[in-house]
């Protein structure tokens, strides 16, 4: 399945062009689990501040908010799109994800991405940190032609 963002990955809700959804090749919409904006801070790095106002905290977990792993994956994916080595890449597969520490409201995630080409696909290894804690390593595969 190819996933297409309805907005640039750095646009947050309430900003021009903000639409909190993604589309697959069939045009079906899925609501993004992350409301905040991802910011590119370098050629291979993005940041995201986990706001206590993120909608996922309403049920995950009351009185002890932990940012869900799915949301960390979303930040890694948005970071990959913002640092992509060529335009028009589309997510082809999530190859692996390893979560090593929790992420809490108020944490600032820094995601470093490393791109490698493998024939017709690109692989992105995204390493997420919150302060001095390693929180996740995600391996995502992308294919060209995502903007069709």
Tell me the residue ranges of DSSP E strands in the chain.
3-5, 21-24, 29-31, 39-42, 45-49, 90-99, 108-118, 121-130, 133-143
39 is catalytic: no
Cβ proximity of 129 and 110 under 8 Å = yes
Strand partners, 45: 42, 112
Q: Which of 4, 39, 60, 77 is catalytic?
A: 60
* CB proximity list for 20: less than 8 A, separation 6 or greater: 13, 31, 32, 35
Q: How far is CA 99 from the centre of its chain?
A: 14
Residues in the chain: 148
- Catalytic residue numbers read 60
């Amino acid at each position: 399945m190819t996933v297409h963002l309805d907005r640039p990955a750095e646009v947050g809700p309430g900003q021009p062009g903000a639409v909190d959804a993604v589309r697959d090749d069939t045009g079906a919409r899925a609501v993004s689990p992350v409301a905040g904006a991802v910011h590119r801070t370098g050629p291979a790095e993005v940041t995201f501040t986990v706001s206590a106002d993120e909608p996922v905290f309403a049920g995950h977990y009351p009185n002890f908010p932990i940012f869900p792993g799915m949301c960390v994956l979303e930040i890694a994916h948005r970071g990959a799109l913002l640092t992509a080595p060529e335009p028009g890449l589309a997510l082809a597969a999530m190859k692996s994800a390893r979560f090593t520490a929790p992420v809490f409201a108020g944490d600032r995630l820094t995601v470093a991405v490393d791109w490698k080409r493998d024939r017709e696909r690109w692989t992105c290894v995204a390493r997420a940190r919150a302060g001095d804690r390693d929180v996740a390593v995600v391996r995502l595969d992308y294919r060209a032609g995502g903007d069709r």
